[in-house]
């Protein structure tokens, strides 16, 4: 589904060029659960942003289902983000003063999907927050907020969920619950999940772990014990 | 994003910052309402002047001393020679010009009217018996100056409707004596009250109600400082009443030719004006007033608009993270533009609506009220509401668009990192 070839990302800063990604090749097949690990500044967030069409590669190609999405105009990329991708962030990124239900409805507003209240309610049920639909972010715990964010990413029926340190702000137990939720999405719904994390215990939920250093993928491990993934 | 959603999001954002939204809208409320009120005042002034001129009578032509350059007023102020005489009026009447229904002449000067107990500053109109017919005025009691009063230089006086109760608060004015003091008390005459005018009402601004009327001959031949060296009777205005549907332009030409011949001059030393001419001059003045008032109001509307833009820019800066989140969940650049433009537009239209209410209300309240001794007339113009609203909407579009454009330039990643 995802194929990166020779992707480089260079930022120009006052101190000179920063090579966030150097010649990265990566293939992710549909239904895979991939964890990207690495230290701060290793390039993992940059890789996520490029995968999520939030950023463009400086050179190299990014093909999504064979389509070169790295060179699409912004409006098409925005449409793609809305329809095919779901984002989960470390800091949840919920909008203030909006109920959980409205947060989940948000992507549907931009998709002009009808019947969105119903779809949003369903997504909340799926993450176990049916009884919190009318709570605002400040009335929810961190784990609940992150589950709202996951419901929001799910509601568009995405093919790919990109999770940037989804457990970073949560305690271990809540973090495990959120990870279980993501694992279920992969297992039960065949959604592809790419996850960035610092923690080995979190990465262990994934079938495949990439390790990054200095903008390059230095290790790519697939755990053998699991069932085959469909291509 | 559908329009309904855009409006819903805008209303939420406005409601989330109640105080700021209210203050922003206030700028527009002031702007829109002042446009409506000031234009209503300007138009009211214009209407007042027009009614005052129409109130002089109907189908009138005026002949005044002075040349085509400058108005009669400025000529008078400069002490221009009095070139019109009472016999000019007689000549016009006797010339048999078709369409002339009556002629009267008058001379105006200030004087003090004095009774045993009261003292009133007034304007004396020295005129003839024809005045009543030519100017279409009527009396509430007694009679006007008679032709005999004019020919015998009788000391008869008719009081304006407002003057009579001032001079005679308790007694019946008819038959009483009024002294007129002219030229700062140098000359004083005793007149006998023969009549009281009926009120002319608000349409003429009450001006004529404060005049007193005497036979033109009686003052002319007794007052040295207005006497004509040739022994003629000076007049400051000749009023010509024309028949309904008479060709006023033709009559003006004929009167001009007649007087030029009588005065033996190559260029007229007088001016012949119809009511339409006066209306034209007056509306030019009040148009200037309207434009002036409108400009002041327009400036406040622009200031209000800048306020909206300022707030929208602040709002974009404050909501960078929100923009980033919306972009990440699939909002396109034009969705963000739509959101901010809708927000600004909603704010402006709500402000415009309230401003219209306030403006119309204030104009209605002001109308008919005395301000600085003048009765205010206000005429609410539907087009002023239209303009104020269009400007409010335009301000909304512009002041929403630029911040919205700035918002789309926000990089979603940077926006999301913006904690």
The domain ranges of chain A are 31-55+79-222
> Which of B16, B329, B412 is closest, CB to CB, to A152?
B329
Q: Do the chains contact at B416 and A107, CB–CB below 8 Å?
A: no
Confidence of residue B80 (pLDDT cuts 50, 70, 90): very low
> Which of B322, B412, B419 is closest, CB to CB, to A91?
B419
Q: Do the chains contact at A87 and B1, CB–CB below 8 Å?
A: no
Segment B394-411, tens digit of pLDDT:
888 888 888 888 888 777
B112 and B249 in a single domain? The answer is yes
Confidence of residue B391 (pLDDT cuts 50, 70, 90): confident
Q: Which of B247, B268, B289 is the last residue of a domain?
A: B268
B241 and B316 in a single domain? The answer is no
B17 at A interface, C-beta within 8 A: no
B183 and B237 in a single domain? The answer is yes
User: A113, exposed or middle or buried, with CB in 10 Å at 0-12, 13-18, 19+?
Assistant: middle
Give the CA distances from residue A124 to residues A10, A134, A150, B9, B188, in Å, rounded to whole numbers and listed in that order: 39, 11, 9, 22, 101
Q: Which of B212, B237, B268 is the last residue of a domain?
A: B268
Q: How far apart are CA B281 and CA B39, in angstroms?
A: 19
Q: Which of B240, B268, B296 is the last residue of a domain?
A: B268
> Which of A94, A95, A107 is closest, CB to CB, to B330?
A107
Give the CA distances from residue A97 to residues B320, B346, B357, in Å, rounded to whole numbers and listed in that order: 16, 20, 32
What is the structure's pLDDT at B77?
A: 39
B327 and B366 in a single domain? The answer is yes
B8 at A interface, C-beta within 8 A: no
Confidence of residue B213 (pLDDT cuts 50, 70, 90): very high
Interface test with chain A among B330, B339, B411, by most A beta carbons within 10 Å = B330
Residue B48 reports pLDDT greater than 50: yes
Cβ neighbors of A179 (< 8 A, separation 6 or more) are: A166, A167, A202, A205
B412 and B386 in a single domain? The answer is yes
Segment B146-170, tens digit of pLDDT:
988 888 888 999 999 889 998 998 8
Select the more confidently predicted residue: B292 or B80: B292
Report the CATH number of the A31-55+79-222 domain: 3.40.50.300
Among chain A residues, CA nearest to B1: A110
User: A115, exposed or middle or buried, with CB in 10 Å at 0-12, 13-18, 19+?
Assistant: exposed
What is the structure's pLDDT at B110?
A: 86
Segment B353-368, tens digit of pLDDT:
999 999 999 999 988 7
Confidence of residue B72 (pLDDT cuts 50, 70, 90): very low
> Which of A74, A75, A93 is closest, CB to CB, to B325?
A93
Inside any domain, residue B274: no
Q: How far is CA B387 from the centre of its chain?
A: 21
Residue with tokens 């990465």: A203
Handedness of CA B96, B97, B102, B103 (dihedral sign): negative
Inside any domain, residue B66: no
Expressed as residue numbers, the domain containing B317 is 3-53+281-417
Inside any domain, residue B63: no
Inside any domain, residue B303: yes
Which residues from chain A sit within 8 angstroms of residue B416, using beta carbons?
Answer: 89, 93
B257 and B396 in a single domain? The answer is no
Q: How far apart are CA B175 and CA B188, in angstroms?
A: 19
Question: In this predicted complex, what is the ipTM?
Answer: 0.84
Q: Do the chains contact at A109 and B332, CB–CB below 8 Å?
A: no
Q: How far apart are CA B123 and CA B110, in angstroms?
A: 4
Number of structural domains found in chain B: 2
Shortest distance, CA A125 to any CA of chain B (angstroms):
20
Q: Which DSSP category does A71 fall into?
A: G
B406 and B359 in a single domain? The answer is yes
Share of chain B above pLDDT 90, in %: 10
> Which of B16, B321, B331 is closest, CB to CB, to A110?
B331
Select the more confidently predicted residue: B419 or A219: A219
Shortest distance, CA A39 to any CA of chain B (angstroms):
18
B251 and B385 in a single domain? The answer is no
B99 and B203 in a single domain? The answer is yes
Both tokens of A73, joined, read 């105009």
B250 and B322 in a single domain? The answer is no
Inside any domain, residue B316: yes
B235 and B122 in a single domain? The answer is yes
What is the structure's pLDDT at B406?
A: 82
Give the CA distances from residue B227 to residues A59, B223, B230, B234, in Å, rounded to whole numbers and listed in that order: 104, 6, 9, 7
Q: Do the chains contact at B330 and A91, CB–CB below 8 Å?
A: no
B226 and B153 in a single domain? The answer is yes
Confidence of residue B374 (pLDDT cuts 50, 70, 90): low
Shortest distance, CA A95 to any CA of chain B (angstroms):
6
């Amino acid at each position: 589904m995802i194929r990166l070839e020779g992707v480089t990302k260079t930022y120009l800063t006052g101190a000179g060029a920063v090579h966030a990604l150097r010649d990265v090749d990566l293939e992710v097949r549909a239904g895979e659960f991939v964890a990207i690990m690495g230290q701060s500044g290793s390039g993992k967030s940059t890789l996520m942003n490029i995968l999520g069409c939030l950023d463009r590669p400086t050179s190299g190609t990014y093909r999504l289902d064979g389509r070169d999405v790295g060179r699409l105009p912004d409006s098409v990329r925005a449409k793609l983000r809305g329809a095919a991708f779901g984002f989960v962030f470390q800091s949840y990124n919920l909008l203030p003063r909006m109920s959980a239900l409205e947060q989940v409805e948000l992507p549907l507003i931009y998709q002009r999907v009808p019947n969105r209240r119903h779809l949003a309610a369903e997504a909340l049920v799926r993450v176990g927050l049916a009884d919190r639909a009318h709570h605002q972010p400040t009335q929810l715990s961190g784990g609940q907020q992150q589950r709202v964010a996951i419901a929001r990413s799910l509601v568009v029926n995405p093919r790919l969920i990109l999770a940037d340190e989804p457990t970073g702000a949560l305690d271990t137990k809540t973090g495990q619950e959120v990870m279980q939720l993501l694992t279920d999405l992969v297992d039960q719904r065949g959604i592809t999940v790419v996850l960035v994390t610092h923690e080995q215990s979190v990465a262990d939920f994934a079938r495949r772990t990439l390790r990054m250093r200095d903008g390059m993928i230095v290790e790519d491990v697939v755990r053998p014990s699991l069932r085959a993934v469909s291509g | 994003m559908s329009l309904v959603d855009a409006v819903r999001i805008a209303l939420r954002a406005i409601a989330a910052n109640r105080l700021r939204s209210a203050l922003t809208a206030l700028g527009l409320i002031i702007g829109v309402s002042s446009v409506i009120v000031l234009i209503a005042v300007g138009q009211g002034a214009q209407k007042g002047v027009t009614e005052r001129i129409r109130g002089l009578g109907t189908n009138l032509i005026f002949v005044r001393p002075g040349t085509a350059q400058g108005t009669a007023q400025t000529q008078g102020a400069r002490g221009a020679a009095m070139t019109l005489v009472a016999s000019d009026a007689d000549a016009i009447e006797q010339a048999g010009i078709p369409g002339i229904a009556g002629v009267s002449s008058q001379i105006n000067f200030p004087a003090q009217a004095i009774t045993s107990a009261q003292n009133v500053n007034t304007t004396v109109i020295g005129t003839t018996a024809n005045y009543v017919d030519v100017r279409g005025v009527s009396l509430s009691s007694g009679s006007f100056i008679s032709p005999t009063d004019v020919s015998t230089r009788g000391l008869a006086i008719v009081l304006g409707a407002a003057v009579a109760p001032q001079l005679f608060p308790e007694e019946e004015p008819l038959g009483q004596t009024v002294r007129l003091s002219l030229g700062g008390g140098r000359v004083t005459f005793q007149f006998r009250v023969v009549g009281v005018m009926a009120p002319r009402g608000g349409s003429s601004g009450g001006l004529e109600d404060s005049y007193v009327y005497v036979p033109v001959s009686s003052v002319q031949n007794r007052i040295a400082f207005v006497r004509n060296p040739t022994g003629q009777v000076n007049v400051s205005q000749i009023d010509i009443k024309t028949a309904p549907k008479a060709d006023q332009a033709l009559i003006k030409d004929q009167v001009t030719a007649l007087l030029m011949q009588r005065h033996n001059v190559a260029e007229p030393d007088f001016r012949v004006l119809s009511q339409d001419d006066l209306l034209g001059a007056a509306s030019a003045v009040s148009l200037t007033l309207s434009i002036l008032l409108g400009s002041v109001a327009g400036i406040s509307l622009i200031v209000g608009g800048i306020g909206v833009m300022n707030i929208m820019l602040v709002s974009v800066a404050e909501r960078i993270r929100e923009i980033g989140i919306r972009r990440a969940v699939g909002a396109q650049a034009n969705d963000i533009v739509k959101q901010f433009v809708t927000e600004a537009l909603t704010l402006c239209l709500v402000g415009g609506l309230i401003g219209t209410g306030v403006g119309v209300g204030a104009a209605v309240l002001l109308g008919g009220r005395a301000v600085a001794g003048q009765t205010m007339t206000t005429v609410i113009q539907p087009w002023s509401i239209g303009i104020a609203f269009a400007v409010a909407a335009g301000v909304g579009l512009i002041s929403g668009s630029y911040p919205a454009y700035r918002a789309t330039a926000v990089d979603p990643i940077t926006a999301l990192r913006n904690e």
